[in-house]
């Protein structure tokens, strides 16, 4: 597919999807007031297994909006963390994938323990991520945005009475204004050892944060430079690629700690326990090359199996 066609896909997404994610966020914010917990996942991880009616409803909305926005979007493959929506309307083969996480941070959303949940999508190829859009309905007085278009990162508050695309268009990039002295590293996926692994990161001079200790969503924290990266065991391919996109936009990377090679999406495995697609192994992600080296050296000998037998 030509570069001009990729640019056309990005243009359609950046024009059509901001209002949709804002509407989706409003639905999530309203549904959150009620008991909408569902059963359905049983991996043993509370963060992975959380599922609500909002996850299913919001994915249905976003998939429908993508289907109807422009025929070019249906030439992409689609990957949703849930199974709702007209997924069959999209291509089964092709270079580009649109991936969705209807509620990132479902456990926090469900338990009402914080406001860092997000509605998000991204566009990627085998090699990398090309467009990312994240809306955080309750981060700040009226919600907040993170958008990464190519190498341009934007992050800032929403203004609900201004068209969403206009809010993003007027937002300044954070590439040159971000904090470069942060030490925070987000860790997840190490199951019952999240806290222990976070402590190991802290012992290097960085500051490790297990999921329950996070001050908010990793995406705005990385976009503004308040956090310097993440260390994730077998990251899923619905939300983690946005962190990769931010890191690469800031001239950093995401690396497999086992060999120091840049992450790509040609290697994935189906986690049947959690019912989702994942990258293999442990991945370090940061805009800072020295931080990447530290994280890779630390975790190189850690067990790469998500569900170790002993």
Report the CATH number of the 3-170 domain.
3.30.540.10
38-67 tens-digit pLDDT: 665 444 444 444 567 888 999 999 999 999
- Domains of the chain, by residue range, sit at 3-170, 184-299
Tell how many helices (H) and how many strands (E) occur in the chain.
Answer: 9, 13
Cα–Cα distance measured from residue 227 to residue 287, given in angstroms and rounded to the nearest whole number: 10
Q: Flag the least confident range among 5-19, 40-54, 126-140, 248-262.
A: 40-54
24-55: burial string, b at 16+ Cβ within 10 Å, e else: bbebbbebbeeebeeeebebebebbbbbbebb
Q: Does 184-299 carry CATH code 3.40.190.80?
A: yes
Predicted pLDDT of residue 46: 45
Sort residue 285 into left (φ over 0), alpha (ψ -120 to 50) or beta.
Answer: beta
Asked whether the predicted pLDDT for residue 243 surpasses 70, the reply is yes
- Contact between residue 9 and residue 123 where contact means Cβ atoms under 8 Å apart: yes
Q: Give the DSSP letter string of 128-141.
A: -EEEEEEEETTSST
Alpha helices in 94-171 (DSSP H): 106-111, 164-170
* C-alpha closest to that of 218 among 193, 188, 196: 188
Cα–Cα distance measured from residue 185 to residue 193, given in angstroms and rounded to the nearest whole number: 15
């Amino acid at each position: 597919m030509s570069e001009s066609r990729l640019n056309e896909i990005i243009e359609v997404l950046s024009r059509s999807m901001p209002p949709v994610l804002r509407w989706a966020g409003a639905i999530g914010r309203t549904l959150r007031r009620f008991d909408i917990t569902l059963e359905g996942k049983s991996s043993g991880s509370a963060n992975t297994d959380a599922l609500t009616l909002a996850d299913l409803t919001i994915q249905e909305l976003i998939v429908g909006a993508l289907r109807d926005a422009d025929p070019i979007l249906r030439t992409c493959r689609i990957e949703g963390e849930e199974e709702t929506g007209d997924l069959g309307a999209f291509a089964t083969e092709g270079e580009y994938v649109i991936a969705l996480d209807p509620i990132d941070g479902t456990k926090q959303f469900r338990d009402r323990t914080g406001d860092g949940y997000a509605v998000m999508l991204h566009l990627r190829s085998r090699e990398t991520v090309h467009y990312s859009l994240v809306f955080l309905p309750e981060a700040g007085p009226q919600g907040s945005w993170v958008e990464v278009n190519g190498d341009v990162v934007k992050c800032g508050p929403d203004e609900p009475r201004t068209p969403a695309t206009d809010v993003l268009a007027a937002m300044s990039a954070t590439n040159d204004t971000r904090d470069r002295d942060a030490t925070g590293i987000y860790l997840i996926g190490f199951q019952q050892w999240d806290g222990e692994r976070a402590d190991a990161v802290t012992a290097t001079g960085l500051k490790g944060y297990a999921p329950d200790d996070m001050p908010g969503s990793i995406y705005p924290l990385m976009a503004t430079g308040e956090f310097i990266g993440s260390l994730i065991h077998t990251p899923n391919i619905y939300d983690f690629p946005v962190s990769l996109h931010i890191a690469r936009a800031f001239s950093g990377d995401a690396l497999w700690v086992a060999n120091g090679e840049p992450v790509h999406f040609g290697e994935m495995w189906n986690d049947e326990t959690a019912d989702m697609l994942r990258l293999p192994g442990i991945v370090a992600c940061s805009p800072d090359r020295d931080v990447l080296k530290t994280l890779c050296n630390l975790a190189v000998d850690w067990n790469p199996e998500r569900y170790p037998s002993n």
